[in-house]
Amino acid sequence: MAAAAPSGVTERYFTRWYKPDVKGNPCEDHCILQHSNRICVVTLAEAHPLLQKGKSIERISYQISANCSRLQNKVSGKSKRGAQFLTELSPLCRIFCSDGEEYTIYSCIRGRLIEVNENILDSPPLLQAKPSTDGYIAVVLPKFEESKSVTQGLLTRKEYEDVLSKRFNSVS
C-alpha cells in the first residue's frame, strides 16, 4: 500500500473515486478527483502500471482517431459551449512507453471535456511524478442533474484499497 500523502489541496477539496481494471484491462486503474463544485479531474490511480517503477513514458497523444483530437476542444462561456461530450468509455489520450507498451486513458465519467493537460505533452514524466496534481490527464464537468449519480460504478478509497489488497494477496 502507498503511504498516505501529506494533506494538500487535492486531499482537502477533492473526493477520490476509483475505477479499477478499466475496460477489463487488469491493473489499469483510474482515479477521479471530484470537487464540491462538481468539477472532476481524471488522473491515474496509484496502482496503474504507468506509475510503477521502471516505466518510462515516451510520448502522450490526445489524438484519439483520425477525426478526433482532444486538443481541438474549444470551450467558451458559462454553459461551456463547444466542449466535447464524453461518456464513461470515451478515450482521453494514449500513452506510449519506451518498452512498446501503450495505454489508453478513459474518461470513466459522463460530462463535458473542459480541458486537457497540455503540460504533460512537453513533460511526460510529470504524469508519473505528480499524478494527482500537475500530472492530471483532463478536467470533466458532469451535467448538473447527473453530478450526484456520476460516481455510480466508481469505488471509494476504502473500497479501492480492498480491491488492491485482494489483488496483491492473489499474486503472492
pLDDT in tens, the chain (172 residues): 444 545 677 778 899 999 999 999 999 999 999 998 889 999 999 999 999 878 899 999 999 988 888 988 888 887 778 889 999 999 999 999 999 999 999 999 999 999 999 999 999 999 999 998 999 999 999 987 777 788 888 999 999 999 999 888 876 5
pLDDT value, residue 148 = 74
Q: Is residue 3 part of a domain?
A: no
In the chain, the number of structural domains is 1
Q: Is residue 54 part of a domain?
A: yes
User: CATH number of the domain that 57 lies in?
Assistant: 2.40.50.100
For residue 45, the one-letter residue type is A
Q: Is residue 35 part of a domain?
A: yes
Q: Which residues, including other chains, have CB under 8 Å from residue 91's CB and lie 6 or more apart?
A: 64, 104, 105, 106, 107
pTM of the model: 0.88
Give the residue numbers spanning the domain of 108. 14-158
